[in-house]
Amino acid sequence: MVKLKDRSPLTFNVAQLLREPIGARREHDFTEAFLSLHEDEALHEITGSVRFTRTLAGVYVECSLHGVITCQCMRCLQPARIAIDVEFVEEYAASIDVNSGAPLPSPDEDDVFRVDEQHMLDLSMAIREYALLALPIKPLCKESCLGLCPGCGVDLNVNACQCHEEPIDERFSALKALFDRPSAD
């Protein structure tokens, strides 16, 4: 049995909702300072809202939240704070009949979220999965990030490039001459 202090702060008691008729609703706002996503990645400053609706099989969840993740910028390799917004809907299947205490049959699908035996609904796993999907493929510290010099590796956002000008292929010297001559305005 999981103790109350061991539960995620994103866990809600839905026992009373499960006693109500289909279509009954509850709404909650929540804040959480930190939710681990994967190894070194974590979602911080989480704020959101959730609506629970009683269904025949359990509880239909509509959730929207905002959070911040710190990851590595793909151009300059410096830390980047990325704000992400997550919205999802899921149906959590009840594990135990709230009135009789009898176990309910497992859903046919393997990847269904479940309301546990104490009628507690934990949003943390669903938030984790949807937040990972919302992460940008190429996170940037800022849109105008100049990145690293491919020659000397200096961060071009901080310092000017220290490498020497590369020799120009002789085949392009005539083209370079066109760009180097002053324009006749």
Q: How confident is the model at residue 122, as a pLDDT?
A: 92
Whether residue 66 is contained in a domain is answered as yes
For the cut 50, the answer to whether the pLDDT of residue 67 exceeds it is yes
Structural domain contains residue 141 = no
Same domain, 77 and 57: yes
Same domain as 152, residue 185? yes
The tens digit of pLDDT for each residue in 115-139 reads 888 999 999 999 999 999 999 999 9
Please tell me the total count of domains within the chain: 2
Residues 120, 151: one domain? no
Q: Which domain holds residue 30?
A: 4-134
Q: How confident is the model at residue 1 (pLDDT cuts 50, 70, 90)?
A: very low
Residues 110, 89: Cα–Cα separation, whole Å = 17
Same-domain pairing of 54 and 10: yes
142 vs 82: CA distance, rounded Å? 9
Indicate whether 140 belongs to any domain. no
Residues 123 and 180 in one domain: no
Q: Is there a single domain that holds both residue 37 and residue 115?
A: yes
Q: State the pLDDT confidence band at 69, using cuts at 50, 70 and 90.
A: very high
